[in-house]
Amino acid sequence: MSLHNPPRGGSPVGRLSQYGAVESGAILYLRLCLGAHGAIDRARSGLIEALGDTAGRRATEALTDLVTILADHGRRPMACHGLACQCVGADEACLAQMVGCAAEGAMEDATLMATLMVRADLAPALAGAAQAFGLWLSQMNRRVMVAHRADVHRGRLH
């Protein structure tokens, strides 16, 4: 593959700032997990810090399930941008939308999107893993919003 022929799944289709908390969280955790050996340990640390020990470990299990299904059964390797990159690639956008739909309970839509990434017989498992992780991301976002409101109420803006 040459510089002039990048993988289609990595083609930029948006920016992180255009996505909600659950979707952008899914993209960032995917990048983290697929980026380097031992990265799941970094993800676990962040999830435990945000959710507490028990919930953080369960969220890590959900993330591990999601990434494992993609890595072991993906139609092709996921194309991811760098962790600090503000662009969102096509593969990342598909994953983000699947996780967002699944977290909102739109499992038929999530399963349909999963068929773009894995065989049809594995799509329900991928959508289920996306739902589990998406719900943890939703919970993490709610905790952040509550903490932010408390800070604003106390007069602290940053």
Q: What is the 3-state secondary structure (H, E, C) of 23-65?
A: HHHHHHHHHHHHHCCCHHHHHHHHHHHHHCHHHHHHHHHHHHH
Helix, strand, or coil here: 116?
coil
Burial track 123-146 (b if 16+ CB lie within 10 A, e otherwise): bebbbbbbbbbbbbbbbbbeeeee
What's the pTM?
A: 0.86
Among 16, 117, 134, which Cα is nearest to 75's?
A: 117
* 84 or 2: which leads in pLDDT: 84
Mean pLDDT confidence for 79-94:
94
Strand partners, 12: 89
Measure the CA dihedral 90/96/99/100, to 10°: -130
Per-residue pLDDT tens over the stretch 96-155: 999 999 999 999 999 999 999 999 999 999 999 999 999 999 999 887 765 545 554 455
Give the type of residue at 128. Answer: G
Q: What is the pLDDT of residue 148?
A: 47
Average pLDDT of the residues in 43-47: 90
Non-local (6+) Cβ contacts of 106 within 8 A are none
Mean pLDDT calculated for residue range 2-25: 86
Torsion angle of the four alpha carbons 81, 9, 130, 109, in this order, in degrees rounded to the nearest 10: 140
What tens digit of pLDDT does each residue of 48-83 get?
999 999 999 999 999 999 999 999 999 999 999 998
> What pLDDT score was predicted for residue 4?
56
pLDDT higher than 90, residue 3: no
Contact 43, 60 (CB under 8 A): yes
Q: How confident is the model at residue 1 (pLDDT cuts 50, 70, 90)?
A: very low
| Coil/strand/helix, residue 2 | coil
Give, in order, the Cα–Cα distances in Å from 124 to each of 58, 66, 107, 109. Answer: 20, 12, 8, 11
Query: What is the pLDDT averaged over residues 32-42?
Result: 79
Q: What is the pLDDT of residue 126?
A: 98
